[in-house]
Amino acid sequence: MLLRLGSLVFWAFLTLSSILLFPVAVLIWAVTLPFDRRKVVQHQFTCFWASLYSWFNPAWRVRVEGREKVRPGATYVMVANHQSLLDILVLFRLFVHFKWVSKIENFRIPCVGWNMRLNQYIELRRGDKQSIGEMMSAASRTLDSGSSVMMFPEGTRSANGRLKDFKHGAFTLAQGGGVPILPIVVEGTANALPKRGFVLQGRHPITIRVLDEIPHEIIRDRPVEDVTREVRELFAKELGEPAA
């Protein structure tokens, strides 16, 4: 009963705060439009907005490790494992610049999705080959503009918190874009909010761990299947799971 009540309060806070903060986001967008081509200020405000929900939730103690490994001004393909809906919120705690690749349904969420459009995040209709091609083209242009791209190579959330197979898209993008891969490990979110359901599951520590970047020179001429497999093995090792 207490978990359900706490969850109700959380989702009510998220809804009300989103209604109040979206007009601020529109104002920032309008003021910075003439000079902030990459929407850096907009994204930093979005990091603040998203971080409110873990800052003010005593059940989530979020620890960020390795933020200093993100080189200022560097452009990456950032890849993270996907355990829960909360992954999106807590990855904003990095407060570094990137553009999300996200399923198109998220862009339709009132206020939150509208702000994603203001940030020029990248839409994807899952399972649609044309949309996948358009996403890859948009992500490539984003890298060319100097903005990093954040992707979940599993494609969707894990149903049980265990690491799923990785898709090739993020690694093909890094190879073609001439940029390094930045692996980011998420732990604890699956316990805090499992995939199926909206009831928060009490106190659970959450860790965001930035690993060493994988230079483009290492992956440039290698089969993308090998790069994909080895990066997944790196995540499996960090999470204490079998490699395959």
- For residue 21, pLDDT beyond 90: yes
26-65 pLDDT tens trace: 999 999 999 999 999 999 999 999 999 989 887 788 999 9
Residue 39 within a domain:
yes
pLDDT at 6: 66
Domain count, the chain: 1
Buried (b) or exposed (e) across 116-141, using 16+ Cβ within 10 A?
bebbbbbbbeeeeeeeeeebbebbee
Which is more confident, 69 or 60? 69
Out of 8-17, 44-53, 62-71, 93-102, which region has the weakest mean confidence (pLDDT)? 8-17
Residue 28 within a domain:
yes
To the nearest whole percent, how much of the chain has pLDDT over 70? 94
The CATH number of whichever domain residue 184 belongs to comes to 3.40.1130
Extended strands (E) in 39-176: 60-65, 77-80, 99-103, 122-124, 149-151
207-239 pLDDT tens trace: 999 999 999 999 999 999 999 999 999 999 999
Residue 114 within a domain:
yes
Residue 68 is given by DSSP the state G
Out of 20-24, 132-136, 160-164, which region has the weakest mean confidence (pLDDT)? 160-164
Out of 94-108, 127-141, 181-195, 203-217, which region has the weakest mean confidence (pLDDT)? 181-195
**How many Å from the N-terminal Cα to the C-terminal Cα in the chain?**
39
Residue 230 within a domain:
yes
Confidence band of 201 (pLDDT split at 50, 70, 90): low
pLDDT at 213: 97
Residue 244 within a domain:
no
Q: What is the dihedral of CA 163, 59, 206, 44, to 10 degrees?
A: 110
Residue 25 belongs to domain spanning: 2-239
101-131 pLDDT tens trace: 999 999 999 999 999 999 999 999 988 899 9
